[in-house]
């Protein structure tokens, strides 16, 4: 395996980790507007992700930084071509982070309600827009021979990419609901599980439609005729098991299965892309690949050494933080967020 191929795998893992971890953050943020019955319950829900949300966003920052360092042409084409979309994602995440800190600074219902709406939209827009980004890049966008992307509205926002964004958003919402059922008590726990059980069916339906669209509007099943169908079967199996575990009140396993489902869904996109990183709708010869978009061999070598050195500490700290805050959150505790 060449170093450029290795770094494509590492970047894929970073984005899979981001959607697994930040996915339930987004799901909790979205569910605060319709699952919670009052400000107290909304605060309890926000408290479940209080110790984690900022660290989870680091996976996205690290992924973007890795693209910049390992594949500068990919970074330049994607971030310039999707400028408005990426800017909206960035502003949404900034607003969401500010809202977490400011919603309880003033004892006023209107003040808190405004910031709660910021949390809702800050949790809704990023997964949808990132889903649009990756699925449209998979379908193909106008990339010229000089690696410049000149995409119109319909190139980015089309039936396939919009449905892909909606599907990713539903996966995050379901993941957040299973997390709430795992981390809360009483009525919130019961309502989260009940809604998650219903949502599983919608998620499966959305995924089936997405797979159908992918078979007609992309070449992923031609590029990976064996691996992609296997991943699809595993995704369906994961969500089928999540329904079973939710029904039997095994919240930990249900959360694991929804996380596995979203991880497999994101991995299917990267598997379908490889060895490409962005598909040109103008000419296959203009595709950005792990070979023509990568940095030099020496840069990739230094990056690999640094990554291997630092990664164990990052993973260790992440696991430890989740272990420390493993208990359920109830209304008996101090409401901080």
Give the pLDDT confidence score for residue 246 in this predicted structure: 94
Q: Shortest CA distance to 220 belongs to which of 175, 267, 263, 185?
A: 267
135-153 pLDDT, tens digit per residue, is: 999 999 999 999 999 888 9
**Which range, of 23-27, 125-129, 250-254, 325-329, averages the lowest pLDDT?**
325-329
For residues 325 and 193, which has the higher predicted lDDT (pLDDT)?
193
52-93 pLDDT, tens digit per residue, is: 888 888 899 999 999 999 999 999 999 999 999 999 999 999
Domain residue ranges in the chain: 3-325
Q: Model's pTM, two decimal places?
A: 0.92
């Amino acid at each position: 395996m060449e170093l450029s191929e290795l770094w494509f795998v590492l970047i894929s893992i970073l984005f899979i980790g981001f959607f697994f971890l930040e996915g339930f953050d987004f799901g909790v943020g979205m569910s605060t507007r319709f699952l919670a019955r009052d400000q107290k319950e909304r605060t309890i829900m926000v408290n479940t992700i209080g110790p984690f949300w900022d660290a989870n966003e680091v996976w996205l920052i690290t992924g973007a930084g890795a693209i910049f360092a390992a594949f500068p042409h990919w970074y330049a084409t994607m971030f310039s071509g999707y400028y408005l979309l990426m800017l909206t994602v960035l502003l949404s995440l900034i607003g969401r982070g500010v809202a977490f800190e400011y919603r309880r600074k003033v004892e006023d219902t209107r003040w808190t309600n405004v910031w709660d709406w910021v949390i809702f939209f800050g949790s809704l827009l990023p997964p949808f827009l990132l889903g649009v980004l990756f699925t449209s890049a998979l379908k193909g966008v106008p990339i010229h021979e000089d690696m410049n992307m000149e995409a119109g509205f319909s190139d980015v926002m089309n039936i396939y990419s919009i449905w892909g964004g909606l599907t990713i958003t539903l996966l995050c919402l379901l993941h957040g609901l299973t997390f709430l059922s795992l981390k809360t008590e009483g009525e919130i726990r019961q309502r989260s599980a009940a809604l998650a059980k219903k949502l599983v069916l919608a998620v499966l339906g959305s995924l089936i439609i997405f797979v159908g669209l992918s078979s007609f509007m992309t070449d992923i099943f031609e590029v990976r005729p064996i691996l992609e169908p296997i991943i699809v079967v595993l995704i369906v199996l994961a969500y089928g098991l999540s329904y079973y575990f939710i029904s039997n009140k095994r919240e930990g396993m249900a959360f694991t299965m929804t996380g596995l489902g979203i991880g497999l869904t994101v991995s299917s996109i990267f598997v379908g892309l490889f060895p490409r990183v962005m598909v040109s709708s103008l000419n296959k010869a203009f595709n950005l690949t792990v070979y023509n978009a990568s940095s030099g061999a020496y840069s990739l070598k230094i990056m690999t050494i640094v990554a291997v050195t630092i990664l164990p500490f990052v993973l260790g700290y992440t696991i430890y933080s989740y272990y420390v805050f493993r208990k359920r959150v109830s209304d008996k505790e101090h409401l901080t967020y």
